[in-house]
Structure 1
Amino acid sequence: MSIQGVEAWVIRRASAADVPAVLQVFDGVIAWFVSRGNTAQWGTEPWSALPRRVDQVTQACVLPGAWVVEAPDGLILAALVLGESMPYVPAACQPEVYVRLLIAARDVRARGLGRRLLAFADDQARAAGARRLRVDCYAGGTGELVRFYEACGYQRLSTFELEGWPGQLLGRNL
């Protein structure tokens, strides 16, 4: 299926076969973070070189709510994983869809893709009968990521720390 407004992007279910491409997206984003001095969010090493991260991405790509976005040439530009809340945040008090993973390449063709995937998440939540979405993200550094989610209609709910990693839980009602 095409993402609304951008006929060139195709969103489809992810699979284990997509793991190397999704890891490549992570590696590119981490290299960009490091170039900007952001070494605390995900570290400095490419995820494709870290067995724990390879395992995380592999597990994520085979979940029923895992999606990837392809450019016309077949290059994976982004990944989105929807599902149940992460174990380190408070349980939901109403039916919800949780954005477990959202990542988009730094490729110019991926510009605006994060927002469009969050709109896709809204559609998936509605189709599932949920009227609430939640997401968590890195709350350190400049706070730019938290502000991104706020600009997409999410509101801050609570903060948390996970092994020294500062996180922000956000939510959005449909």
Structure 2
Amino acid sequence: MRITPGGPDDVDAVLALLDDATAWLVSIGRTGQWGTQPRSTNPRGVAQITEWAETGRLHLARIDGEVAGALAVGEAMPYVPPATEPELYVNLLVAGRAHAGRGVGARLLDHARAIARQRGARQLRVDCYAGDDRALVRYYERQGFTATDVFAVGEWPGQILVERLRSG
């Protein structure tokens, strides 16, 4: 597995990962997380992925040349409380279902930690869907994050998680 920068030519591959993940979530009855419609049909979502790609915030995990996962990092989203110390925020983390169980998400989070340290951040934060059985919250906890604030965007329940970074 290699982690590479993503660019405008990778937007369609990231949207395909998101569409695949959404279809899988729908198939297991977890429509509260991302809804039921493919992300590639949401102009706002496409614009967001495109912006991340054009501004150097997108990173891809590749297995045998194929895009297996995507990460976008930068600043916290406007709906979460501001950071109280220097941080890097995980804006997107998605792994392709074809590569489930291969540690794609974990490797991308390791990459985010490395970027954060390079930039002098003392913490890595992420937010995620906190509905249903909180499975996604538990995933991030297993990756070293600690659940902190809860929030809602309309009816969508969210959880903020933080990981304090050690230097080096």
What TM-score, normalized by structure 1, do the two folds share? 0.90
C-alpha deviation, 1:39, in angstroms: 0.7
| C-alpha separation in 1, matches of 2:72 and 2:112 | 9
| C-alpha separation in 1, matches of 2:69 and 2:141 | 20
Q: Does 1:162 align with 2:125?
A: no
Aligned residues of 2:72 and 2:92 also touching (Cα < 8 A): yes
Q: Does 1:141 align with 2:132?
A: yes
Q: Any idea what SS the aligned residue of 1:88 has? A: coil
Tell me which residue corresponds to 1:99: 90
Tell me which residue corresponds to 1:59: 51
Identity of aligned residues (%): 46
C-alpha deviation, 1:124, in angstroms: 1.2
Matches within 5 A, 1:1-174: 9-72=1-64, 74-108=65-99, 111-174=102-165
Name the structure where helix makes up a greater proportion of residues: 2
The residue identity in structure 2 corresponding to 1:18 is: D
C-alpha deviation, 1:132, in angstroms: 0.6
* Structure 2, gaps ≥5 residues long: none
Q: Any idea what SS the aligned residue of 1:107 has? A: helix
Q: Between Structure 1 and Structure 2, how many residues are aligned?
A: 165
Q: Any idea what SS the aligned residue of 1:41 has? A: helix
| C-alpha separation in 2, matches of 1:28 and 1:114 | 15
C-alpha RMSD of the superposition: 1.3
What TM-score, normalized by structure 2, do the two folds share? 0.93
| C-alpha separation in 2, matches of 1:100 and 1:63 | 13
| C-alpha separation in 2, matches of 1:109 and 1:87 | 31
* Structure 1, gaps ≥5 residues long: 1-8
- Write the deviation string for residues 37-71 of structure 1: whole angstroms up to 9, x where unpaired: 01111111111122222222212222322211222
